[in-house]
């Protein structure tokens, strides 16, 4: 059975796209069939895996086909990456989709209807969510089985989590009652700093009884950010480094969590 995970946080710069790419490749390294969906009009996941901006067929086209009710090949947009994951790309044209959906009947279900056509081919579909809380984000959560929340252990992180969880709870109540929180993932973590330790304790005090927090954090390391500029994951860029080790542990924890269900 395919599991759909959306990587979500309305705050930018928290490692959302980096986590989408490296979790996806990490799961593929564990023998899973993985589809990565670029749900952000900035197209950073697409670019971060080495694909160009000006692709003819993207997620926008697929969602438009669903809206218009026309017959189409749902696999037309899929690209194949050399590290063993498939990709549905996006670019800035997806921005218009957020507005277009407002006038559509069952507008919250459009992405789910599309991904349902692909689930038989994959064990995991990972959506790189957009850094806002609009209609596309609601579509992404409606399509998802769970939400993984990357966050830096910073002073204002708790406020951002509060806003995201409001949207999560509203979407769960109205459109997707089976959706769960996959967990909170600390990213860009400098764990030796007292500030990081203090902010983690604040997040855990606020949410630890309600939400799962991943055992291992993702450290702040230059190779992790540099990998995207080469169009590869951290596993190809520095396969024996701490960044690759941390993302492989995350992938294993996600896989173990699914097996517990």
- Sheet with 3-7: strands ordered across: 79-80, 85-88, 34-38, 124-128, 3-7, 146-151, 180-186
The chain-wide mean pLDDT, for the chain, equals 92
Q: pTM for the whole thing? A: 0.95
Looking up residue 139, the CATH number of its domain turns out to be 3.40.50.300
Q: What is the pLDDT of residues 220-230, one digit of tens each?
A: 999 999 998 89
What are the beta bridge partners of residue 186?
151
Q: What is the pLDDT of residues 84-128, one digit of tens each?
A: 999 999 999 998 887 888 888 889 999 999 999 999 999 999 999
Number of other residues whose CB lies within 10 A of the CB of residue 175 = 17
Does residue 260 lie in a domain region? no
What is each CA distance from 101 to 72, 104, 108, 142, in whole angstroms?
19, 5, 8, 14
Structural domain span for residue 20: 3-255
Token pair recorded at residue 122: 């994959």
Does residue 43 lie in a domain region? yes
Does residue 261 lie in a domain region? no
Based on the structure, what is the number of domains in the chain?
1
Does residue 106 lie in a domain region? yes
d(CA 218, CA 152): 9
């Amino acid at each position: 059975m395919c599991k759909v995970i959306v990587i979500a946080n309305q705050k930018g710069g928290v490692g959302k796209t980096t986590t989408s790419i490296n979790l996806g490749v990490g799961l593929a390294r564990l023998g899973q069939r993985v589809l990565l969906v670029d749900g952000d009009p900035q197209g950073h996941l697409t670019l971060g895996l080495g694909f160009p901006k000006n692709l003819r067929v993207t997620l926008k086209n697929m969602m438009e086909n669903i809206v218009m009710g026309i017959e189409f090949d749902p696999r037309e947009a899929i690209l194949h990456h050399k590290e063993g994951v498939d990709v549905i790309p996006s670019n800035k044209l997806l921005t218009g989709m957020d507005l277009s959906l407002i006038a559509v009947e069952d507008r919250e279900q459009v992405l789910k209807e599309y991904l349902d056509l692909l689930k038989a081919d994959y064990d995991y579909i990972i959506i790189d969510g957009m850094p806002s809380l609009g209609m596309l984000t609601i579509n992404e959560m409606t399509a998802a089985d769970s939400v993984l929340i990357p966050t830096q252990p910073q002073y204002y992180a708790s406020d951002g989590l509060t806003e995201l969880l409001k949207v999560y709870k509203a979407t769960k109540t109205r459109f997707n009652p089976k959706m769960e929180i996959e967990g909170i993932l600390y990213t860009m973590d400098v764990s030796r700093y007292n500030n990081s330790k203090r902010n983690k304790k604040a997040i855990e005090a606020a949410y630890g009884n309600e939400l799962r927090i991943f055992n291992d954090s993702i450290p702040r390391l230059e190779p992790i950010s540099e990998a995207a500029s080469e169009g590869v994951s951290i596993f190809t860029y520095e396969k024996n480094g701490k960044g690759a080790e941390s993302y492989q542990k995350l992938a294993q924890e996600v896989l173990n969590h699914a097996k517990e269900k």
